[in-house]
């Protein structure tokens, strides 16, 4: 049976990078004879919102459920639709309602990429961020009282459940266990956020008992961001709450050169629902429409999708192709964020060509 992929480009540069992600996937699929089947959707975009008054049709869940994965660009056009409306009406809905409770993001200093940190070379930075993806600070519950007065008070709840915390910790410990260094770092802030974060810490200690061979440490999020800059080589696998994982997985790719190349898997490990693969970068309204966006985050997200489907060899070839094109970093090929003057097209086609040639 074919693997059905729902293509949801979204907004801004999401629409621009998507074709190259699909092109690369089609190229590798034809070489390895993988039965990928793509179907595109125009919802989960601010354009759609403007026409229909909602980010998605009512039956979006029924529409997407039969797919094996969602290949997602980026959402957000804050001048048209407020970010909380557009995101809670699309991406965050997918994560929550398709129970994609793992957000997995590699952070790797790749050959050919200029690192903003002094003296770091490819191989020095190579870790995974495992982010809780359905609860925590992204609760969407709370509200306002005494609105419009001096007593105005706004409350939002952070919610952690044992089920939610334990399952992401288990995934992170297992990932750490599968790696040579077997090292797990937990992000916390239990000194300041005095209820939810100490709870997180307790569950970490509890879970660690099942993984005695994993070397565990924990850092408060403030000093942890400092370590990203000062000793990024110390990390192997990092696990954090929804918000902390969000922050670390932008900071990490920034430390390795550019957010434009970073991918992300929103995974439902149980396989009950489709998982979603997307670049870490957003819709970037400031550069949208110019064809200048880096397509590698989108392409690499496709690579993670193949990996998720179990096509290890094809995924390895895709990653190798990305590495080769980055390593060469030809000025006419790579985009501005990497110091080149290439376009989404030149960069995307170079990776597709490299896949075909491997």
Ligand X SMILES: CC(C)[C@H](C(=O)O)[C@@H](O)C(=O)O
CA 308 vs. chain centroid, Å, equals 14
Name the β-bridge partners of 71: 7, 277
For residues 31-58, b (16+ Cβ closer than 10 Å) or e, as one string? eeebebeeeebebbbbebbeeeeebbee
Nearer to a copy of itself, 66 or 123 (CB): 123
Q: Does 312 bind a copy of itself (CB under 8 A)?
A: no
What track of x and - describes contact with a copy of itself for positions 166 through 205 (by CB under 8 A)? -----------------------xxxxxxxxxxx------
Q: Which of 31, 234, 254, 287 binds a copy of itself (CB under 8 A)?
A: 254
Residues 288, 344: Cα–Cα separation, whole Å: 11
3-class DSSP assignment, residue 276:
strand
Single out the residue of 35, 59, 155, 213 in contact with a copy of itself (rule: CB under 8 A).
155
> Is-contact 28 300, C-beta < 8 A?
no
Residue 234 binds: one of ligand X, a copy of itself, none (C-beta under 5 to 8 A by kind): none
**16/246 with CB nearer ligand X:** 246
Which residues sit at the interface with ligand X, rule CB under 6 A? Answer: 87, 92, 191-192, 222, 246, 282
Rg of the chain on CA atoms, in Å: 20
Q: Please identify, among the stretches 47-55, 96-104, 142-150, 322-330, the one whose residues bind a copy of itself according to the rule CB under 8 A.
A: 142-150
Q: Does 276 bind a copy of itself (CB under 8 A)?
A: no
Q: How many residues bind a copy of itself (CB under 8 A)?
A: 68
Question: Residue 339 interacts with a copy of itself (CB under 8 A)?
Answer: no
Cα–Cα distances (Å) from 48 to 7, 136, 181, in that order, read 15, 29, 46
- The yes or no reply on residue 330 touching a copy of itself (CB under 8 A) is no
Q: Measured from the CB of residue 78, what is the shortest distance to a copy of itself in angstroms? A: 8
- How far is it, in rounded angstroms, from Cα 118 to Cα 121? 9
Of the pair 24, 92, the CB lying nearest ligand X is at 92
Give whichever of 80 and 208 is closer to ligand X, judged by the CB atom. 80
Which residue lies nearer to a copy of itself by CB, 31 or 215? 215
Residue 149 or 178 with smaller CB distance to a copy of itself = 149
Residue 1 and residue 34 in contact, taking contact as beta carbons nearer than 8 Å = no
State which of residues 240, 253, 274, 302 lies at the interface with a copy of itself (CB under 8 A): 253
Residue 254 structure tokens: 């920034």
Cα–Cα dist 38/202, whole Å: 44
Q: Which does 161 bind (CB under 5 to 8 A by kind): ligand X, a copy of itself, none?
A: a copy of itself
Q: What distance lies between CA 220 and its chain's CA centroid?
A: 22
Nearer to a copy of itself, 280 or 326 (CB): 280
Helix (H) or strand (E) holding 142: strand 142-145
Helix (H) or strand (E) holding 240: strand 237-240
Q: Is 30 in the site for a copy of itself (CB under 8 A)?
A: no
84, two tokens: 């909380």
Q: Applying CB under 8 A, which part among 16-24, 41-49, 147-155, 310-318 lies near a copy of itself?
A: 147-155
Residue 343's binding partner among ligand X, a copy of itself, none (Cβ under 5 to 8 angstroms by kind) is none
First CA to last CA across the chain, in angstroms?
Answer: 27
State how far the Cα of 257 lies from the Cα of 105, in Å rounded to an integer. 15
Whole-angstrom distance, CA of residue 224 vs CA of residue 107:
15
The continuous run of DSSP H or E covering 249 comes out as: helix 242-255
Sign of CA dihedral 211, 215, 219, 221: negative
Using rule CB under 8 A, residue 32 touches a copy of itself: no
Rank residues 76 and 122 by Cβ distance to ligand X and give the closer one.
Answer: 76
- What are the residues facing 183 on neighbouring strands? 215
| Partner in contact with 40, chosen from a copy of itself, ligand X, none, beta carbon below 5 to 8 Å by kind | none
The answer to whether 76 contacts a copy of itself (rule: CB under 8 A) is yes
For a copy of itself, the binding residues (CB under 8 A) are 76, 82-84, 86-88, 92, 115-119, 137-138, 140-144, 149-163, 189-199, 220-223, 225-230, 242-243, 246-247, 249-251, 253-255, 259, 282
């Amino acid at each position: 049976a074919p693997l059905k992929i729902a293509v949801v480009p979204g907004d801004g540069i999401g629409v621009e990078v998507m074709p190259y992600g699909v092109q690369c996937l089609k190229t590798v699929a034809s070489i390895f004879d993988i039965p990928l089947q793509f179907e595109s959707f125009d919802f989960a975009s601010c354009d759609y919102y403007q026409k229909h008054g909602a980010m998605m049709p009512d039956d979006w869940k029924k529409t997407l459920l039969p797919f094996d994965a969602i290949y997602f660009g980026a959402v957000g056009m804050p001048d048209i639709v407020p970010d909380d409306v557009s995101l809670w009406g699309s991406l965050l809905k997918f994560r929550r309602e398709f129970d994609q409770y793992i957000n997995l993001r590699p952070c790797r200093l790749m050959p050919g990429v200029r690192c903003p940190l002094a003296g770091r070379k490819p191989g020095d930075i190579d870790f995974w961020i495992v982010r809780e993806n359905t609860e925590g600070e992204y609760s969407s519950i709370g509200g306002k009282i005494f609105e419009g007065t001096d007593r105005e008070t706004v409350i939002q709840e952070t919610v952690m459940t044992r089920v939610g915390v334990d399952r992401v910790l288990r995934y992170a410990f297992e990932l750490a266990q599968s790696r040579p260094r077997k090292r797990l770092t937990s992000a916390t802030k239990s000194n300041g956020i005095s209820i939810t974060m100490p709870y997180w810490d307790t569950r970490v200690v509890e879970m660690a008992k099942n993984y005695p061979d994993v070397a565990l440490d924990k850092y408060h999020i403030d000093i942890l961001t400092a370590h990203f800059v000062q000793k990024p080589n110390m990390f192997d696998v990092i696990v954090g709450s929804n918000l902390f994982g969000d922050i670390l997985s932008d900071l990490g790719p920034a430390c390795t050169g550019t957010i434009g190349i970073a991918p992300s898997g929103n995974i439902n490990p149980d396989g009950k629902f489709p998982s979603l693969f997307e670049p870490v970068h957003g819709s970037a309204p400031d550069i949208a429409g110019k064809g200048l966006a880096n397509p590698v985050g989108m392409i690499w997200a496709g690579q993670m999708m193949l990996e998720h489907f179990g096509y290890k060899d094809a995924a390895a070839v895709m990653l190798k192709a990305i590495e080769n094109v980055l390593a060469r970093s030809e000025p006419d090929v790579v985009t501005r964020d990497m110091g080149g003057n290439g376009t989404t097209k030149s960069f995307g086609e170079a990776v597709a060509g490299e896949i075909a040639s491997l």
